Chains A and B, each alone.
Chain A
Amino acid sequence: MEIVFQQTPGLTETPMRYCPGCGHGVVHRLVAEAYTELGMKEKTIGVAPVGCSVFADEYFNVDMIQGPHGRGPAIATGIKRCKPESLVFSYQGDGDLASIGMAETIHSAARSENITIIFINNAIYGMTGGQMAPTTLIGMKSTTSPHGRTVEANGYPIKMCELLAALDGPVYLERVSVDKPAAVVKAKRAIKRAFQYQIEKRGFTLVEILSQCPTDWGMMPLAALERVRKEMMPFFPLGIYKEPADSKAAVAEKE
């Protein structure tokens, strides 16, 4: 019989502790499939953040390091500079990447470090119980914006792909989602492209994944997916924000 789907050897068999309906688990699979299919599993070193995905070092079946909140890009920089032949990724949430670790994000991008960042934007601080994130939408409730985020009190959410696209350093920036099967396929393609560019030593790549956090959004999983589509996508438009000119042409030709 033909095998159409199987568990990727890129993940360990440790059961994941993510909540039902959470986006993290899906993205873990995509990242693992991507480095495995590119033949890089044995040369990959991953960085786990502080956040719900702190346990990523248990799940990714590759050499892993877990570090301080927000510092993934600096850690990945240190690893990559010492082991340039390895594939290095940093997996981060929005509090981790766009709040406490903003400096590390911007400067690793500006230096065009040859690393890949997998950025889970779920508009909330998951692990600490649903506080406001730098990506929490205007009007969205959180435990530290109980009446909904307001511009007056909290300012605006940060659009990371747009912000980073203003820098010369990044080579590839794309925002995707995992709200339906077609989107998942697209997300995987984006992650694979980012890894491919890293293998080609082109420089800084980041894939932002709009993700759902049913638990801290206080929603059923399906309603959470609906929120990703109806509320997040209009504010955080999906698409490619930066890509190498030559591969843009090559991709267009293929498709």
Chain B
Amino acid sequence: MGEKLFMKGNEALAEGAIRAGCRFFAGYPITPQNEVPEYMSWRLPEAGGTFIQAESEVSAINMLYGASATGTRTMTSSSSPGISLKQEGISYCASAELPIFFANVVRGGPGLGNIAPSQGDYFQSTRGGGHGDYRVIVMAPKSVAEMANFPRLCYEMAFKYRIPAMILADGILGQMMEPLEFDFEPIDPATFELPKWALRGSGGAERRRVNSYDLRPSYMEKWNFRLEAKYQEIAANEIRYEATQIEDADIVLAAYGTSARICESALMLGRREGLKIGLVRPITVWPFPTQIFKDLSKRVKKFLVVEMSLGQFVEDVQLSINGKAEIYLHKRPAGAIPTGEEVLEITKKILSGDQTKLHSKP
């Protein structure tokens, strides 16, 4: 804490996880997140942890399934196609209530796509991602400092609620270098009490079971309702967002992660010209900060959603605003990155009333 560092996003993410108590990492190379396993490979053993380069993403997530069942703070990271492969395992973790932590440094898709930054995995991240009814906690950093500090929050929520928690980043956040400070002291997991459910051998007491099945539909239904109650509790307690200059805004920009960063510069440029622009930036995209949008829509009649995907994030904004205001969308999918000037120009068009609703191509 206090110490000023200058790091690449992916390395900050890895270091942040270790300082937050991560002691097991398994992953498989994929650009643009390779610095995470590379950093972990030397740094984690130094911290007394285990690094494994797995034979595949599928294997990596299942190593986490086992390792986190022992109560260990675990991490895996990947980028889009690799996260797709991990989804079966993440679904098992969600059902078995294992507190894994993982990061998706999103790249352009679909398919092999490209290695450029993108936000195309929003649906996959916020709707569960794999099979079955479940959610994972999703934090969307906008800076290297947040890449470094969010892992601790993810672990705290993951262990509190026994749920997978993830960081939804992108190639820009992973690759850029920025100054940062840790906002917490390094955590030594050896000081934690092992959770009751953690496998360790029965030790002569009652044995433990970690599983994700009940073939009796009525029991599995109860299991699902139990998970749902937990999701509701998380939605009630853990929503985070940042609202900038919304008090007098005529138009509110809505964006997360890198797009929010870009909107910040559009806001700054616009304010300099006297335009009343505000910004709402969800920090947790699941649970989604619905209420702030709902409240704002009572007064603000125009919203501009900016996302580096084809209209995924906008659906959550629409659900929140529920027809009470006009929503415009600026979308740059598959590795294209909007600029602040570009966003400002569209904002101006909307304010002057000549922008088509829910549609804008660069």
Is A122 part of the binding interface, using a Cβ–Cβ cutoff of 8 Å? no
Across-interface contacts of B68 in A (CB, < 8 A): 78
User: Is A104 a contact partner of B209 (Cβ separation < 8 A)?
Assistant: no
Structural contact, B201 and A75, CB atoms closer than 8 A: no
Query: Chain B interface: which size bin?
Result: 35 or more
Using CB atoms, name the residue of chain A closest to B203: A42
For the complex formed, measure the closest distance between the CB of A8 and the CB atoms of chain B, giving whole angstroms.
14
Q: Does B69 contact A (CB under 8 A)?
A: yes
Bitwise interface map of A from 79 to 90 toward B, beta carbon under 8 Å scored 1, else 0: 111110011000
Decide yes or no whether B207 CB sits under 8 A from chain A.
yes
Measured between alpha carbons, how far is A87 from B203 in the docked complex, in Å? Answer: 12
> Which residues in B have their C-beta under 8 angstroms from that of A65?
65-66, 69, 96, 199, 209-211
Residue of B whose beta carbon sits closest to that of A104: B59
The answer to whether the Cβ of B167 comes within 8 Å of any Cβ in the partner chain is no
A63 contacts B202, CB within 8 Å?
A: yes
Query: Which residues does chain A contribute within 8 Å of B65, judged by CB atoms?
Result: 65, 67-68, 71, 74-75, 78
Whether B64 sits at the interface, judged by CB under 8 Å, is yes
Q: In the complex, how many residues of chain A place their beta carbon closer than 8 angstroms to a beta carbon of chain B?
A: 36
Say whether A41 contacts B202, CB under 8 Å.
Answer: yes
A167 to chain B: closest CB distance in Å?
13
B66 near A78: Cβ-Cβ < 8 Å: yes
Query: Which one of B55, B58, B199, B209 has the highest number of Cβ atoms from chain A below 10 Å of its Cβ?
Result: B199
A66 within 8 A of B: yes
B356 within 8 A of A: no
Which residues on the B side are within 8 Å of A57 (C-beta)? 209, 211
Could you mark each residue 28-71 of chain B with 1 if its beta carbon is under 8 Å from any beta carbon of chain A, else 0?
Answer: 00000000000000000000001010111011101111111110
CA distance A214 to B249 in the complex (A): 74
Question: Closest approach, in angstroms, between the C-beta of A18 and any C-beta of chain B?
Answer: 15
CB contact between B70 and one of A58, A61, A83, A111 (< 8 Å): that residue: A83
Which A residues lie within 8 Å of B64 (CB)?
A: 78
A44 interface contact, C-beta 8 A: yes
Q: List A contacts of B201 (CB < 8 A).
A: 42-45, 62-63, 83, 86-87
Cα distance A75–B96 in the bound complex, in angstroms:
13
Task: Tell which of B59, B202, B213 has the most Cβ of chain A within 10 Å.
Answer: B59
Q: Is A199 an interface residue (CB 8 A)?
A: no
Q: Contacts A64-B209, A67-B62, A82-B50 given: A103-B200 contact, CB under 8 Å?
A: no
Q: Per-position contact with A for B179-212: 1 when CB-CB < 8 Å, else 0? A: 0000000000000000000011111100111111
Asked if B267 is at the interface of the complex by the 8 Å CB criterion, the answer is no
Complex contacts, A104 vs chain B, CB 8 Å: 55, 58-59, 62
Q: Which residues of A contact B55 (CB under 8 A)?
A: 103-104, 106-107
**Chain A residues in 8 Å Cβ range of B200:** 45, 63, 83, 86
Q: Which 7 A-B pairs have the closest CB atoms?
A: A78-B66, A78-B67, A75-B66, A74-B62, A71-B62, A78-B63, A66-B211
Task: Give chain B's interface residues, CB within 8 Å of chain A.
Answer: 23-24, 26, 50, 52, 54-56, 58-60, 62-70, 72, 74, 88-89, 92, 96, 199-204, 207-213
Q: Which A positions have Cβ atoms within 8 angstroms of B?
A: 41-45, 47-48, 54, 57-58, 61-68, 71, 74-83, 86-87, 103-104, 106-107, 111
